[in-house]
Amino acid sequence: MTRPITLVTGQWADLPLEELAKKAASWGYDGLELGASGDHMDLNKAATDKKYCRKQLGILKKNNLQLFAISGHVVGQQVCDPNNDSRSDAFAPADCAGDPEKKRKWAVETMKNSARAAKNLGIEIVTGFTGSSIWHLLYSWPPVPDEMIDEGFAYFAKMWNSILDVFDQCGVKFALEVHPTEIAFDIITAKRAAEAVGNREAFGFNFDPSHLQWQMVDPVCFLNEFSDRIYHVHMKDTALQLNGRTGILSSHLNFGHPERGWDFRSLGHGDVNFEEIIRTLNHIGYQGPLSVEWEDCGMEREHGAKEALEFAKKINFEPSEIAFDAAFDK
């Protein structure tokens, strides 16, 4: 049986879940990855109100859609992020605005509740971000002592181990999307992050090749490195647009700007080699969903969602159960 194909709802938070579910079903998706934005998934409510959980699941069921994972990206970011500007104010309750530690405290409790919500919803995966207290130290000027980086990983472990304890209690796993601005953004930092929390089983990865590709990290190498910790998969493409004037740091230009050094693309329109990714997912035995994340400023999103689904269906092949030359044994 091929892996189910789902749609990340975060980029569709402006649409009510009832409307989005109907659209996704008409396009042919198998399910949705419900994000903690819009009316799609209230993590705190789902943690305590099983009637609310049944209501959200009922919307999906009415449209023949399944739920395999919920997303806590906008919440988890605030756990380790400095939270020292207004960008995250919209992701927390209004009374947290402008108060970094109040946002952090709310985020910690909400991420604990994301595990309880997943349990009440009958699923085992929460995808998300962790934030990072040291991302701003990426370039070493003024010089960054190793001790400052060590402190950042120790802080991540301190903040997230208490959250992961609740995940363990609920039988749920957290899948970090390895991503710039997070504690883990490539293979080396992902390994260090896992080690920081004692390689505990509750902590793994939401594999998204688009964030590795533009950094020139081979997504297949990531899959092989963490073959036992790939808990969820995002399907998103990216393209380098380097022409001698542009660079991968993107020049403070927003997504979609023609002079950016790289940009996200809809599936099949970028540089990611999805065939090798599917072959590797087959090799490591990943049978979870392929969750399409639409983020292409150069393409109308409904067209992109439908076309991406067709691409994912086509590339979502199963491994062979026989060796091609087995016939010669007879």
Spatial contact of 120 and 50, defined as CB atoms under 8 Å apart: yes
Model confidence band, residue 328 (pLDDT cutoffs 50, 70, 90) = low
Instruction: State percent of the chain over pLDDT 90.
Output: 95
CA distance 56 to 70: 12
Query: Is pLDDT above 80 for 324?
Result: no
DSSP state of 119: H
CA distance 92 to 57: 24
CA distance 292 to 9: 9
Query: In the chain, where are the structural domains located?
Result: 5-320
Spatial contact of 117 and 36, defined as CB atoms under 8 Å apart: no
Which of left, alpha, beta for 155 (phi over 0: left; psi -120 to 50: alpha)? Answer: alpha
Residue 226 in tokens: 């963490």
Mean pLDDT, rounded, for 227-236? 98
Model confidence band, residue 326 (pLDDT cutoffs 50, 70, 90) = low
pLDDT (tens digit per residue) in 132-170: 999 999 999 999 999 999 999 999 999 999 999 999 999
Mean pLDDT, rounded, for 11-28? 98
Strand partners, 125: 69, 173
CA distance 32 to 24: 8
> DSSP string covering 2-53, please?
PPPEEEE-GGGTTS-HHHHHHHHHHHT-SEEEEESSTTS--HHHHHH-HHHH
Q: At 207, is the secondary structure helix, strand, or coil? A: strand
Query: Is pLDDT above 90 for 81?
Result: yes
Q: What is 5-320's CATH number, 3.40.630.40, 3.30.565.10, 3.40.1710.10, 3.20.20.150?
A: 3.20.20.150
DSSP state of 63: T
Task: Say how many C-beta atoms besides its own lie within 10 A of residue 220's C-beta.
Answer: 17
Spatial contact of 115 and 166, defined as CB atoms under 8 Å apart: yes
pLDDT (tens digit per residue) in 185-222: 999 999 999 999 999 999 999 999 999 999 999 999 99
Residue 294 in tokens: 């639409």
Query: Is pLDDT above 60 for 230?
Result: yes
Query: Is pLDDT above 80 for 258?
Result: yes
Mean pLDDT, rounded, for 52-60? 98
Mean pLDDT, rounded, for 109-124? 98
Q: What is the pLDDT of residue 320?
A: 82
Q: What is the mean pLDDT of the chain?
A: 96
pLDDT (tens digit per residue) in 278-301: 999 999 999 999 999 999 999 999
Residue 326 in tokens: 């087995």
Q: What is the pLDDT of residue 215?
A: 98
DSSP state of 149: H
Spatial contact of 9 and 51, defined as CB atoms under 8 Å apart: no
Q: What is the pLDDT of residue 327?
A: 63
